[in-house]
Amino acid sequence: MNNQIIPTTEPFFFPGGRTGVLLTHGFTGTPKEMRWMGDYLNKQGLTCLGIRLNGHATNPEDMRRSRWTDWTASIEDGFHLLSGSVDRIYFVGLSMGGVLSLLMSTRLDVAGVVGISTPYHLPKDYPLWLMKLYSFFVKDSPKSKEMPGASWFDKDAFSSHISYPKNPLSSAVQLKLLLNEMQNALPEVRKPVLLIHSKDDPYVLPENMEQIFAGLVNASDKTKLYVTGSGHVVTRDAARGQVFDLALEFIRKVEKQFES
C-alpha cells in the first residue's frame, strides 16, 4: 500500500457535542500541527475536524499545483462536512490557517474565529510581479537562515514536527495573493475574533497581529493576546497548553450568547 499522505499527518475527526471547531494548519504544514489542540478541545466536549489543505502533507510538487482558491475550497469542504454534525462552527487556524479562517468567516456562517500566529504580510514582502518572475527561475526558498528547529522551545515536539522542508516559490506567490484577499476582507469580518501570537515568533513577527487587529473594524468583538516561550508553531511548542486554554475560554464566552 502506497500512502500519498505522510504517515501521522492525516486529517482527523473527533466527535463530541453540538458545537464544532474546524482546525486549519499552516503554509507547508499538516493537520498534525492542530491535532493536539483538536484532542484537547474534544476532551472539553467539542466536535473537532482537522482538515488537510489542498497540496499539503503529501509532497511539494502537489503544493506547487495548488492555488489559493484551492485552499479556500478546502475550508469550505470542511465547513459543510462538519455542519452535518453540529449546530455552530468556530474556525481555529494557525498561520496561513488563520488567514483562511478570517477570510472564510466573511463567506460562511461561523460563530467566531481564533487566529493563531497569523501573518498580515509575508516576512519578506516583495512586490507580486517580482515574486512571480523569480518563481520561474527558482523553485524553492529556504524557510529561514537559522538551523531547523532553532526557534522551537520544546525540542522534543520539534523532533516529531512534519512540514515541507522548503517553501515552494510559486506557492509563496499564492500565499501573497491570499494575504491580499484577507487584508481586503478584514473590514467585512463581523464575528467575534481572538488573535493569539507568541512574542518570540521570529518568522511572523508580532506586529502582524497588531495590523490584523487594527483592520478588524467591524468585528462584533475582538481580543488580542500574547504568549511567550514558543516559536511560530505555538500549537505544538512549549506554550501550547496556554493557547488551548485561551481558545477554549473564547469559545465558551461566545457560546454563552447563544445560550441566553
Instruction: Return the pLDDT at 136.
Output: 84
79 phi/psi in degrees, rounded to 5: -60, -50
Cell reading at 242 = 496556554
In a domain, 136, yes or no: yes
Mean pLDDT value across residues 59-81: 96
Q: How far apart are CA 235 and CA 241, in angstroms?
A: 8
Asked whether 33 and 59 are in contact (CB, 8 A), the reply is no
Backbone angles phi, psi at 144, to 5 degrees: -165, 175
CB 251 within 8 A of CB 19: yes
Per-residue model confidence (pLDDT) at position 54: 97
**Least trusted range by pLDDT, from 16-20, 99-103, 156-160:** 156-160
CA distance 83 to 135: 38
The length of the chain in residues reads 260
Total domains, the chain: 1
Residue 210 lies in a domain: yes
Closest CA to 106 of 249, 255, 212, 218: 218
pLDDT of 129 higher than 90: no
In a domain, 2, yes or no: no
DSSP E strands, the chain: 12-14, 19-24, 47-51, 88-94, 112-116, 140-142, 166-168, 193-198, 222-227
Domain span including residue 227: 12-259
What's the pLDDT tens digit per position in 171-215? Answer: 999 999 999 999 999 999 999 999 999 999 999 999 999 999 999
Q: Are 157 and 234 in contact (CB under 8 A)?
A: no
Q: Is residue 176 included in any domain, yes or no? A: yes
Amino acid 124: pLDDT = 82
Domain-embedded: residue 4 = no
Q: How many CB atoms are located within 10 Å of the residue 123 CB?
A: 12
Q: Which residues are CB-contacts of 207 (< 8 A; sequence separation ≥ 6)? A: 120
- How confident is the model at residue 1, as a pLDDT? 44
Measured between alpha carbons, how far is 221 from 59 in angstroms, rounded to an integer?
A: 39
**Mean pLDDT across 71-96:** 98
Q: What is the pLDDT of residues 2-37, one digit of tens each?
A: 569 999 999 999 999 999 999 999 999 999 999 999
> What's the CATH code of the domain at 23?
3.40.50.1820
The rounded mean pLDDT for the chain is 94
- 1 within a domain of the structure (yes/no): no
d(CA 230, CA 232): 7
**153 domain residue, yes or no:** yes
Most confident of 87-91, 120-124, 145-149: 87-91
Q: Which three cell numbers stand for residue 247?
A: 481558545
156 in a domain, yes or no? yes
- Output the DSSP codes for 17-57: SSEEEEEE--TT--THHHHHHHHHHHHTT-EEEEE--TT-S
Q: Which amino acid is at 114?
A: V
